[in-house]
Structure 1
Amino acid sequence: MSRHPLLHSARLLALSSHPLPTCAVTVFAGGLGLLAGNSIARSLLIAVCVLAGQLSIGWSNDFLDRGRDAAVLRADKPVALGEVSSRLVLNSAIAAAVLALLLPLTLGIGAAGAAWVIVISGWGYNLGLKATVFSFLPYVTAFGALPAIATLALADHAFPVWWAWAAGSLLGVAAHFANVLPDLLADEATGVRGLPHRLGARGSAIVGPLLLVAATGVLLLGPSTSWSWWRLVILAAVGAGAVVGAVVGVRRPGRRPLFAAMIAVCALDLLLFAVSGGTLR
Structure 2
Amino acid sequence: MLRALSTTPSLLLVRAAHPRQALLTAAALAAAAAVAGRAPREVALVGATVLVGQSLLGWADDLADRERDARHRPGKPLAGGRLDAGTVWFALSCAVLLVVPLAVANGRRAAATYLALLALSALGDRLLHDRPLSFAPWMASFALYPAFLAYGGWGGVGSPTPPTPAMVVLAAALGLGVHVLVALPGLVHDHLEGDRSLPMLLALRTGTPRLLLLAGAWTALVVVGVLIAGRTAGLA
2:30 & 2:73 partners in 1: Cα distance?
35
Give structure 2 stretches of 5+ with no counterpart: none
Cα deviation code 1:83-107 (max 9, x no counterpart): 1111211221232123223321112
Classify the secondary structure of the residue corresponding to 2:132.
coil
1:175 & 1:37 partners in 2: Cα distance?
25
1:60 paired residue number: 60
2:120 paired residue number: 121
Q: Describe the shift of the 1:137–1:218 C-alpha distance in structure 2 as closer, same or farther (beyond 3 A).
A: same
Query: Which amino acid in 2 is paired with 1:56?
Result: L
1:195 & 1:277 partners in 2: Cα distance?
33
Is the Cα contact below 8 Å between 1:60 and 1:126 reproduced in 2? no
Is the Cα contact below 8 Å between 1:144 and 1:166 reproduced in 2? yes
Alignment of 1:15-94 (within 5 A): 15-75=15-75, 77-94=76-93
1:7 & 1:38 partners in 2: Cα distance?
39
Is the counterpart of residue 279 in structure 1 residue 234 in structure 2?
yes
1:41 & 1:215 partners in 2: Cα distance?
28
Alignment of 1:1-281 (within 5 A): 8-75=8-75, 77-154=76-153, 155-200=158-203, 201-202=207-208, 204-223=211-230, 276=231, 279-281=234-236
Query: Which amino acid in 1 is paired with 2:52?
Result: A
Is the Cα contact below 8 Å between 1:2 and 1:8 reproduced in 2? no
- CA RMSD across the alignment: 2.5
1:40 & 1:156 partners in 2: Cα distance?
16
Is the Cα contact below 8 Å between 1:32 and 1:147 reproduced in 2? no
More deviation, 112-121/16-25: 112-121
Query: Which amino acid in 2 is paired with 1:208?
Result: A
Instruction: State TM-score, norm by structure 1.
Output: 0.73
More deviation, 200-209/185-194: 200-209
The CA deviation at 1:186 is 0.6
The CA deviation at 1:205 is 2.4
1:96 & 1:192 partners in 2: Cα distance?
30
Aligned identity (percent) is 24
Q: Describe the shift of the 1:147–1:16 C-alpha distance in structure 2 as closer, same or farther (beyond 3 A).
A: same
Is the Cα contact below 8 Å between 1:30 and 1:46 reproduced in 2? yes
Q: Describe the shift of the 1:133–1:49 C-alpha distance in structure 2 as closer, same or farther (beyond 3 A).
A: same
Instruction: State TM-score, norm by structure 2.
Output: 0.86
Query: Which amino acid in 1 is paired with 2:112?
Result: G
2:36 & 2:118 partners in 1: Cα distance?
21
Q: Describe the shift of the 1:173–1:151 C-alpha distance in structure 2 as closer, same or farther (beyond 3 A).
A: same
1:157 & 1:142 partners in 2: Cα distance?
20
Give structure 1 stretches of 5+ with no counterpart: 224-275
Count of residue correspondences: 228
1:221 & 1:38 partners in 2: Cα distance?
19
Query: Which amino acid in 1 is paired with 2:39?
Result: S
Q: Describe the shift of the 1:6–1:78 C-alpha distance in structure 2 as closer, same or farther (beyond 3 A).
A: closer
Is the Cα contact below 8 Å between 2:107 and 2:159 reproduced in 1? no
